[in-house]
Amino acid sequence: LALVAVTTAWSGYQAALWDGRQDQLYENSTKLRVEAQGLQVRGDQERVYDALTFGDWLRASATGEQKMAQLFERRFRPEFRVAFEAWKKTDPLNNPNAPPGPLIMAEYHNAQSEASAKLGNEASKFFEQGTKAREISDKYVRVTVLLATVLLLTAISQRFRTQQVRIALAVLAALLVCIPLWRIIMLPRI
């Protein structure tokens, strides 16, 4: 009985530790998701800036306002400028197969959006690990319940005066204790 009681307490302790691990992993996931959303918003703002600045450059170029076109071209972000230069090399004014704009080019990158995607992937990994920790905690809780059932059966068996009933409950408890003990041996520990 003492061994079962200690094992029950230890199983409950492990369940609590795995719950704490789950909370920590979910918290890390949430922090990364919030950070990723902030980066995505910044990336979206930069993409809008790139599109608007390019549109203004295109209008100024089409109307022959070279000073204005040069002004907008100087205001291009460095990441956008790479795609813009690659787009210009496709001769978009004369080439009908040229991409519609620099934002479509493979050379166009947005570091904020890329960092956001990376953080989103990391957040997903933390979340998955948290879910696995929760599953392990649940398994420890089930083990604890089974061990408590063994204790209950053992205690109840002492109340009966009939020897056969006492033996039957003791045998049932002895058989039942094998399941949680096996699970405890197999479950990961913190």
Q: What is the pLDDT of residues 105-147, one digit of tens each?
A: 999 999 999 999 999 999 999 999 999 999 999 999 999 999 9
pTM, rounded to two decimals: 0.76
Residue 1 confidence (pLDDT) above 90 = no
Helix (H, G, I), strand (E, B) or coil at 187: coil
Q: Name the band, by pLDDT with cuts 50, 70 and 90, for residue 186.
A: very high
Please provide the distance, in angstroms rounded to a whole number, between the alpha carbons at the two ends of the chain: 25
76 DSSP 8-state letter: S
Q: Cα separations (Å) of 85 from 54, 64, 88, 92, 108? A: 12, 19, 5, 11, 10
pLDDT digits (tens, 9 = 90+) for 169-180: 989 988 889 999
Contacts of 93 (CB under 8 A, 6+ apart): none
pLDDT over 80 (residue 71): yes
| CA distances in angstroms from 82 to 61, 103, 188, listed in the order given | 19, 10, 51
Give the whole-angstrom CA distance, residue 52 versus residue 50: 6
For residue 13, CA distances in Å to 9, 32, 101, 143 come to 6, 29, 60, 12
